[in-house]
Structure 1
Amino acid sequence: MEELGYLTAKEIQVKSMSRILGGQDIIAISPEGSGKTTTYVLSVLTNMKFTIADAPKVLILAPDQDRIQAIVDQFYFISKNKELSIIGLRTGGSMEQEIEKLVAGVEIVVATPNRARAVYLKLGLNLNLIHTLIIDDAEDIIKNGMITPVKELAKSCKKCQHLIFSTVEHEKLHQMVDDFMVQPALIEVEVLAEQQLEVHDLFLYRVPNFTTKINLLNHLMRDTEVFDKVVVFVNSRLTAQKLSKSLHHRDKEEILVLNPLFFDDIGIDDCNLFKERPASRILIVANEGTDHLDLTSIPFIFHFELPENKETFLQRIIKTDQEEHFAFTFSTDLELPEVKRIEQIIGQKMQLMELPTDLAIYNAKKEIRSGTMTPSEKDETRGGAFHKKKESNSKTYNYGGGVKAKMTMKKKKG
């Protein structure tokens, strides 16, 4: 390791290596570039017997072909052993040659969950001797819709150590791993940029799905005293048009769409017109095809959806003058990795906000409408990431009194 330039261990390695080598199941949460891959590569190499393999001992699941190749390369790079008993399975194509190599004897297998499951069902992947199952970039595996094959493979591996590596911890992660992990240690590492960027006040709402985002935005916009001029960013013009139809409004000019998709939608083609109209309170803007927008004199920015380009987000939250803005971000579990990347860049975390206790949480299996269930009953529909709060910690407002006072005060100063 010293020859390769690794002079000191990274925080994730310090916190997890002893637990891994001790045989404990772990869930390691840390950002990109924090040393997660090196951590498990070292642990696997340390435990290897370097004998002729009659069946795989280690199965590593990764989200795509590029990640598979990067993992295999890291094993060769650290071990300096060109004859290392490892194979990276392709994500598609014929399985014949791969099965032949597996039958001949390979100790470490790296594959996507879908490919590993397909080869296993062809009786080409023997899981009986697996002693370590590693899930790398778990957040991307979940995003790619591979939860079910992960569960099936884990159950087929029978008794083994499970090592889960992800940039985020959320409900869907626990849905995937909780059934097969045995009292795992949760290890969390935050690696933020040393230099903090000067940004506006940032607030984060974590919600389970798109429909709940709509419910939350409607809930917040009921406070007309505070939210008198608001810009809401979405990714497409179609979403902008649909969102405008889903928001409650008192008159037809209260909610406008910038450059509407359809000619009969109520909208404008110039942000300055929105600023000048007292009756217009909410402007919905699509990131799609929108150049830099002049947000001066608009105190509230809502990122209903995260833009695909991080630079677009950063342009809106970095301070360029003395004017204050309040930037709110709505994030589902699948969007949370992007939020973490942004926090890493700006060198600070967004302020996590409590969801209002009377917010209608949409459930695809059992639709919850406002007024049909009590707040405590709604809490239990939110899943693992939304635990029922203690009575002493429960809140009946959507942002703290101090935050509201701060927003009102800054608006008056402006």
Structure 2
Amino acid sequence: MSTEEASFQDFKLNKQLLNAVEEQGYTLPTPIQQKAIPLILNGHDLMGIAQTGTGKTAAFVLPILFKVKYAQGMDPRALILAPTRELALQIEESVKELSAYTDIRYAALYGGVGPKTQIEMVQKGVDIIIATPGRFMDIYLKGELNTKQIKTLVLDEADKMMDMGFMPQIRKILEIIPVKRQNLLFSATMPEKVVQLSQEFLEFPEVVEVAPQSTVAETVEQELYEVPNLKSKINLLEYFLKKEEFKRVLIFTRTKTTADNVYKYLDRKDYGTIRVIHSNKGQNSRINAINEFKSGDLRVLVSTDVSARGIDVTEVSHVINFDVPIIYEDYVHRIGRTGRATKEGMAITFANKAELLHIGKIEKLINEKIQVKPIPDGVEITETPKMERQDIEREIDTFKRRENPDFKGAFHEKKNVYDKKNDKFKKKPSGNFKKKGGGKRRR
């Protein structure tokens, strides 16, 4: 089925779904939708490998809505599992939009808020549940969920599920839902853990891969800046935010502390509205920040990787990696927040000396070189403070030791010591050395 000939009518979806598709402005199915939807409608187990921003959420939501058809009974018939609250809310939004002309009932179950309201929704009757694994099990163990009618299970962002250690919860869920069901697994990357997971719960799956594993969308231009330290990164960040073309900017940091510090610094400046989200922020605060970012009321959003896959905004002009992710697949997911839905985007990465070691691994993963750009004129490059320099050296040691277990590291090498009497440096003694009395003792 060529892209020119394909249409949503070809899938023989019901009129209610086609009306919703048209209302959302979808014209032609994306490649993952073209390949996955017919297979899911025909009842196959499926493993879908697609980079972010390719329309894979609709690729499983549309056939599930078609299969569920209408509200029936009290118990769920489809379960969609997602690794984060943000992604669960994003999927819920897609279900809401595409089921607009049906009476299908759905509920999103996730942590960060009290379960009372979510339990009440389930008690009223629900056809589709979107959930994070932990909250789903919490409500099930309270006796509020009957899982016997579940006919379809979706694991979305399976690679992130594995990174976040959800395998024990997933195994428990597999034990309490019917064995006879359709299983769908979607992932942007296919590391060994995901392969093992697929072997554990998929039966003779059809594999749909619309792009090589871990490739970056062609609509995303990538740039790399070698920046020696934190203060210089801030200076470079300010340089970019002064430019008008940076209309809607998503900044990723490795830690919550760095996210907060970047936010506090920029919030004192005049760069437009800015918010920060990470796992320590309240659920309502995170939802409000993402909604403001989607609506365009927010120019800059600072986030850790926990939120990288739950931000589905088509108008993100720039993604800035303030830090380089050490889980290399997260680089793909971070920069996948721009260049979505065929729109062009720019991904900019700042890397110090230690982080450049990870860049090589990322380039190997995505099978392409990231263009290195010179620091623009006018950006002050400051001297690296001693403590930060030591932290960078330690990170280099850790990386090299992981690559080569025999590597001793800069912090384990023999140090030169200053001999005041002879006014010169000499090697620090190690191992056996003589005592003043002439005898030896083990150090």
TM-score of the aligned structures, taking structure 1 as reference length: 0.50
